[in-house]
Structures are given as structure tokens and as C-alpha cells.
């Protein structure tokens, strides 16, 4: 457990604040008296966010920035100093995803996901550490995912990026404790946002959108509770907590369920492959024993 803190008066930067969880969190924090700096790539969406904001004793400022750009990361630092004189809480929320099996994806897809979800997060954290060391009850809040605890088929690259965030967060927590900085991680389950519509690619045959239960506003409320209480690591939604429980204590069962699900969605291809294999012609070698005739290029 980290330190307890009050939301009112905190200077908070939120990345990816123009939509979904980030947007809901910016509005909720400002409404509770925090001084919020909302960062995102879309200027029109940030303008809309500013118009909707009705801070309850707090303030909401915006800065157009991309976490993958070194210049933009520095722009966020300068905006935090200009508007609020420093920073108390960094919320790393910006992220992208994709679905589809790894073997069918391009190398660029993995690199794009890691660039935003991991490198963007770590380098944003790096540039803000000096400000956070001088902050009031400072904290780094990383918005991760339940797939950081169990790799989800059809979401291998996204899972990998969130596993990386989990490992980074746990190591960094020990490193910056001497500076009085808490490192907190919130892992939402499937949430009702535009995240799936904004994916780089959406090719997974295992559809999960119908399971999206929590609203962005509910997640935002849980994030603020975690920040107030200094809870290091929380998992959201019943399905998410159940998945983490099964993965931790019954790993063979979790793996078996995942494999069975993949086999179900690929059953036609598996059946076709089996038929093709069964129909391969056989010939006899000089000693009279049957052997399978193979293409000089291998199977098929």
C-alpha cells in the first residue's frame, strides 16, 4: 500500500484524455477539485472536453501532445509548469490496441503498439520524474489491463505491451519509493469505450465486445479511489478478477480454456487440414514398406 491522499488540490496530468477512460477521469478529477492537465493528440476533442468541464473548485487545462514524440513529451512538462507550477500525479492512460493472431500480423503492428503502450508510457514517466520528486504526495498511475495478468489469444501484442507495463511498474515502485513517489496500477476489464473502434486492426475471431460491462465513468471512479487510498494494484470487473484468480491458482485450467476456445473458432481450418493430411498419397520404398510421398518443398 502507498500513501493516502486527497484528490482536491492535486495537480494531475492525464494522457489519452480526449476519449474513454481518460476523458471520464479528467472530468471526474476536475469535478472533485483537482487541477487537471488533459493531454491528447486530438485538438478538437480536447476543445470539446474543455467546454464540457465544470470544475468543482478545480481547474482543467489541455495540451495537444503525442506520448511517442520527445518534443511533445517536453511540451507536456512545460504546460504542467506553466499552468500549475509543477505536478503531483502522472496518469499514463494513452494506449492503442489491435486484435488478430500474431502469425497473421505485420511486424509494424507490434512496434506501433509497443511504441505507444510501453515506450510512450516509460519515456513520459522519465521526463516527469523531476517534477514528481518535488510534488505533494506524488504518484504515478499506470492504466493497464486485465490482459497484463493473463495473455489473451488474438490479443498477443496488446497483452505483451501490458505485461511490460506491469513489470516496469513493479520495478519502478521499488526504485522511486526513496523519493516518496507511489507507483499504482489499475487493470480495467472490458470497458464500454471507443477503444475497440479505434484499434489499429480488428481481426480476432474471438469477439469480446458483448462482455464490456464497466462504463468509463465507473473505471474513473475506481482510479480515483485507488489514488486516494494508495492501492498499488487493483483489478476491475468480476470477470477480470475471476480470470486473474484462475490464471494465478489454476494455470493449467486457464491454458486449457484458452486453447479450447482457439480450437473452437478455428475448427473448420483444423478439420480441413486433417482431411488434407489423410488424403496424402503413399508409395512404397524399394524394401516394400509404405511411406508418405512428400513435396520436395515440405508439407503440402
Q: Report the phi/psi class of residue 89: left, alpha or beta, with left for phi > 0 and alpha for psi in -120 to 50.
A: beta
Q: Which residues are catalytic?
A: 18, 144, 158, 162
- CA gap 214, 225 in Å, rounded: 16
Beta strand 11-14 with 89-92 is parallel
Helices (H), the chain: 20-31, 43-52, 70-84, 107-114, 121-133, 156-176, 216-229, 238-249, 251-265, 267-278
Phi then psi for 89, rounded to 5 degrees? -135, 130
Give the three-class secondary structure for 91: strand
| DSSP-assigned states of every residue in 76-103 | HHHHHHHHHSS-SEEEE------BS-GG
Beta bridge partners of 192: 215
Amino acid at each position: 500500500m502507498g500513501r493516502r491522499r486527497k484528490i482536491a488540490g492535486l495537480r494531475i496530468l492525464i494522457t489519452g484524455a480526449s476519449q474513454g477512460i481518460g476523458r471520464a477521469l479528467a472530468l471526474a478529477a476536475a469535478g472533485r477539485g483537482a487541477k487537471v492537465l488533459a493531454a491528447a493528440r486530438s485538438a478538437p476533442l480536447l476543445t470539446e472536453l474543455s467546454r464540457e468541464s465544470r470544475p468543482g473548485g478545480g481547474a482543467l487545462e489541455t495540451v495537444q501532445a503525442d506520448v511517442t514524440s520527445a518534443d511533445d513529451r517536453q511540451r507536456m512538462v512545460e504546460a504542467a509548469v506553466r499552468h500549475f507550477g509543477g505536478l503531483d500525479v502522472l496518469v499514463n492512460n494513452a494506449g492503442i490496441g489491435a486484435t488478430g493472431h500474431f502469425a497473421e500480423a505485420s511486424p509494424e503492428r507490434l512496434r506501433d503498439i509497443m511504441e505507444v503502450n510501453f515506450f510512450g508510457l516509460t519515456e513520459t514517466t522519465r521526463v516527469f520524474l523531476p517534477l514528481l520528486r518535488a510534488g505533494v504526495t506524488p504518484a504515478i498511475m499506470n492504466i493497464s489491463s486485465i490482459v497484463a495478468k493473463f495473455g489473451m489469444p488474438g490479443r498477443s501484442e496488446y497483452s505483451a505491451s501490458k505485461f511490460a507495463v506491469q513489470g516496469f511498474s513493479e520495478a519502478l515502485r521499488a526504485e522511486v519509493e526513496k523519493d516518496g513517489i507511489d507507483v499504482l496500477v489499475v487493470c480495467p476489464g472490458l470497458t464500454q469505450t471507443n477503444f475497440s473502434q479505434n484499434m489499429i486492426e480488428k481481426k480476432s475471431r474471438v469477439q469480446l465486445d458483448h462482455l464490456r460491462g464497466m462504463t468509463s465513468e465507473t473505471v474513473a471512479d475506481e482510479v480515483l479511489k485507488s489514488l486516494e487510498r494508495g492501492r498499488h494494484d487493483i483489478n476491475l470487473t468480476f470477470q477480470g478478477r475471476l480470470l486473474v484468480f484462475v490464471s494465478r491458482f489454476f494455470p493449467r485450467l486457464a491454458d486449457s480454456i484458452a486453447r479450447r476456445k482457439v480450437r473452437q473458432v478455428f475448427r473448420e481450418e483444423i478439420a480441413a487440414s486433417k482431411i488434407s493430411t489423410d488424403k496424402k498419397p503413399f508409395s512404397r520404398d524399394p524394401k516394400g514398406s509404405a511411406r508418405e510421398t512428400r513435396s520436395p518443398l515440405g508439407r503440402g
